[in-house]
Structure 1
């Protein structure tokens, strides 16, 4: 279920000195100017000593507001989909689908970074983080301390996120790199729905805790 919370962003680097607020400006430009996006991603999880724990890869699709598809192709297949109303996590190998309310699933998680909106600033403290590796960085710290992540860093190429780094409560870091990014791509609405197999076990958690 860890992958429910590793849902996420976009590409490359510019070689000019940073100006004050560059990372924050890029974050705002991404939310204001990008309606749809598709990209491939590579995700690496490392421990506090920098040793690799897990390496995964897949495809990411985004359509505002609140729709995305995060598909792990390797080493095993998992699909995370939001249709704007509900959030679906499909573990293909286990043949299990978990369903949750979108607002509860996105609260103070990386997925909320993609959706943007007023909830972002209410959930995170946003701070400028300078330039590194040719990218303009911004740091987001959850305002509530009971989430999975203690800090999230996003590196931008212009208004396009290129990398994400997510530090969790266990001292581990998840690093995400995006490639083959297409902004404002035409994406069929059907990509943001999940066809649930007839033989899948469905765990419906919508309405819980409300």
Structure 2
């Protein structure tokens, strides 16, 4: 059970987001301060599609209690909360880059509160889906599934109906530079592991560009989003966790 609760993530945050031009979707966003490069150590296995969702996230170096926010930082975090709280539905493309620089692509769909779906392009046949109560990682090739309560993952912070990161999260990092805002956060609930670093553009308006998670070995997974469409009509059946081997929409 504890291993399941460690479903951390290339986070979902995929909720709202910046319509990055398709040609730029594979270009990493420049952070205010250089991030140390990380890669697999000799003999380590490289990450697959689902590993970014199930990796145990490493503790932050900022301290267990997070930052003591000043008024300006508090205002910035409130704006990020308002951004996610203002989303209803969303769809777009994503590019996931592991520590080995292997890229995996696909499409994602979000219906707040609580529901989202990530479909990885072939040759992967993995699906990550939340029905608002549970998050499931399904591998259609291996015909197996890992499932955990959504409230036991850090994604609940961004998918709940009343998003308030100042209230519900420990803020581990707030940085500004040019047109970029970076916020690192951890759920205040000690039973909900996982740290997520959000990269938000600030011009012309606040929008998510990507997020990064770090696993227990110190390896980063980066997810970039593009071609976003907000407030689109989505079929709620897309977010039903189907038994493996049954087609979408089967009772």
TM-score by length of 1: 0.72
- For structure 2, which runs of at least 5 residues remain unmatched after alignment? 21-71, 247-251
Distance 1:58 1:124, change over 3 A: farther
Q: Which residue of 1 aligns with 2:9?
A: 5
CA distance, structure 2, for counterparts of residue 165 and residue 97 of structure 1: 24
- Are 2:19 and 2:227, in contact at CA under 8 Å, matched by a contact in 1? no
Alpha-carbon distance between aligned partners in 1 of 2:150 and 2:213, rounded to the nearest angstrom:
21
Query: Of 233, 243, 251, which aligns to 1:186?
Result: 233
Structure 1 unmatched runs, 5+: 14-19, 47-51, 200-210
Q: Deviations over 1:98-156 (max 9, x none)?
A: 3332222x2xx3x2343144685434326421136x3222221455788764x422122
Alignment partner of 2:142 out of 94, 102, 105: 94
Instruction: Tell me, in whole angstroms, the C-alpha distance in 1 between the residues paired with 2:192 and 2:177.
Output: 27
2:92 corresponds, among 33, 36, 39, to 39
Matches within 5 A, 1:1-210: 5-8=9-12, 9=14, 10-11=17-18, 20-21=72-73, 23-46=76-99, 52-104=100-152, 106=153, 109=154, 111-116=155-160, 117=162, 120=165, 121-125=167-171, 127-131=173-177, 134-141=179-186, 143=188, 149=194, 151-157=195-201, 158-198=205-245
Query: Structure 2 length as normaliser, TM-score?
Result: 0.61
* Number of equivalenced pairs: 185
Structure 1 pair 70–122 and aligned structure 2 pair: CA distance change class (3 A): same
- Distance change >3 Å, CA 12–CA 118, structure 1 → 2: closer
CA RMSD of aligned residues (A): 3.3
For residues 26-73 of structure 1, what are the alpha-carbon distances to aligned partners after superposition, in whole Å with 9 as ceiling and x for unaligned?
Answer: 412222211111111001112xxxxx3532111121111111112222
Contact 1:40/1:178, CA 8 A, preserved across alignment: yes
Higher relative strand content: 1
